[in-house]
Each structure stands twice: as structure tokens, then as C-alpha cells.
Chain A
Amino acid sequence: MVFLTRKAEFSASHYYHNPAFTTEENRRIFGKCNNPNGHGHNYTLEVTVKGVVDPKSGFVVDLKELKDIMNREVLDALDHRFLNKEVPEFATKIPTTENLAIAIWQRLAPKLRAAQLHRVRVYETPDLFVDVYGDTNGPDAEAQGAV
């Protein structure tokens, strides 16, 4: 099994707000991120796929194909967008880095054929990143309102 990681960058704006919370709760929980005019980040995306090396091509995955899928499914939809207003997943979910990583996983996983998606890592800033491995099982899934 070999793991291959492809990086990409995109820039987007967002803000955190839950209509079920009061104005005061939103401000307390989300702090500066609650500013309704939004703010932005340069995100770095790392997509890691895994698979056995094809004996003919020497590839785990055709990088051109992986790049095309990432561009079509993720970057075209997110780059230079206001996530809350322009990306359907965030009509009802708060566009935190956690939910962004999950949305990217859900966009990519069904589209990859040759190799299997192993990890999606999203850097919001150089000192904050989130990893998801597609793990939806766990005793605390329901209790914690698993997405």
C-alpha cells in the first residue's frame, strides 16, 4: 500500500453563526468569527489517497486525474467564494474547518475510482488544521450529533 498526497490552495470567506443561538450566545461562542460581514482565509488542502502501485504505470493514481477531480469537485466550488452563501453544504451547517474538511471528503470520496481516499487535511492557517478519515462510527456518534 502506498499513500500519495496532493496539495492545493483556495481562498474563501466565511463567518460562524447559528440561528438557534441568541445574538449574545453567537458572540460568546464564535467570537470574532461571528462578524456577519465575513472574513477570509487562504486555505491549504491536502488530499491523501492510498492504493497498490499499478505494475504497468507505476502509479497509485494518475495525478492528472486526481488534480482534475480536486479542481472540479472542490476548488471550482470553493475558491474565491463566500462559503455561507455560495456553497450548498453551508446553507445549514456552520463552515468551520471541521465541517469544511467533512464536506470536501464527501465531495471527493464518491468520485475517486483508481485509489481510495485516505485523508483530507485542511489548513485554515499555518497553525490550525483539521484531518478527517471518513470515520463515521463510534459510540459517541449519536450523542454528539454526528454529521
Chain B
Amino acid sequence: MRAHLTRRYMFSASHRLHSDQFSEEENRLTYGKCNNPFGHGHNYMIEITVSGFVDDQTGMVCNLVDLDGVVQDKILERYDHQNLNLMPEFKNTVPTTENLCIAIYEIVSRGFHEAHLDKVRIEETMMNSFEYAGEDL
């Protein structure tokens, strides 16, 4: 039977929502407080969901240690206690949680091949969350 395994991680980072394609006034109207030029931060909660058939030798969809290793090296080391606006992936893309979801999905998708990556879900705060499951769904 196919099983879908979800693992939660946390990191903290700062960002500022600002688009070069908007005027100063449009940026303020669109992003409100998030447009504060000094930035602000969040504790991001990341959920990575992978799936596959359960291997009858190990009882696992994938080895959790390997998933943790990839997320630690490629996501947490990269983003924890950083300013997202300074990352290359957000040079020309606004670091909204939508775009962060897509960036993390693409990094995990490139780095982890033991199971199918179903989706990335991020809670920016307890009040809002975002999911990205790739474009083929």
C-alpha cells in the first residue's frame, strides 16, 4: 500500500516583500507592513511530504535519516537565520511564502530521490499556510 510520510522542520528567517515592478506607492498598497524597508522575520514551519510503496525489507517509504540529512544540508543550513531577500533565488523574485514553497520544493526535488516528493507545506505563522505540489498535478 502506498504511504505518504510527512516530516516537520523549523527555521527562522527575515524578509521584506517588495517588487521592483511596482512603484513605491504600489508596493506599500500591495504589501502593507510587509513592505517595511528594514524587513521582519518569521519562524517558518516546513512540512515535507514524500510517498512510495513500503519496502518490505525495511518497512519504510524512505530512510528518514537520509531525508533529514538532505533537508538539514540543503534547506535548514541555507535558510535558517538568513535574510531571504539576499538569497540568489529571491534576487528577482519576491520572497513570499508562495515563492519560498516553490523554491524549497525544487531544492528537495533535485536533492532527494529515495521517494516521490508529494508536496511542501509552509506555515509562515499559525494563521496562514501555503502548499506547493509541483506543476504536474
Contacts and interface: CB of A to CB of B under 8 A. Distances in A.
Given A128-B64, A131-B6, A20 B1 contact: no
B63 interface: yes
A31 interface: yes
A58 interface: no
Contacts of A134: 1
B1 A97 contact: no
Interface residues of B, number: 23
Contacts of A99: 54, 59
A146 B53 contact: yes
Given A98-B60, A135-B1, A141 B53 contact: yes
Contacts of A140: 52-53
A36 B7 CA distance: 25
Contacts of B7: 127-128
Interface in A100-134: 101-102, 105, 126-134
Given A31-B65, A126-B8, A128-B64, A144 B1 contact: no
Contact of A18 (B8, B57, B63): B57
Contacts of B49: 131
Most chain A Cβ neighbours within 10 Å, of B9, B54, B55: B54
Leading 3 A-B pairs by shortest Cβ distance:
A94-B59, A96-B59, A127-B8
Interface of B: 1-9, 49, 52-61, 63-65
5 contacts: A29-B63, A94-B58, A128-B64, A140-B52, A141-B53
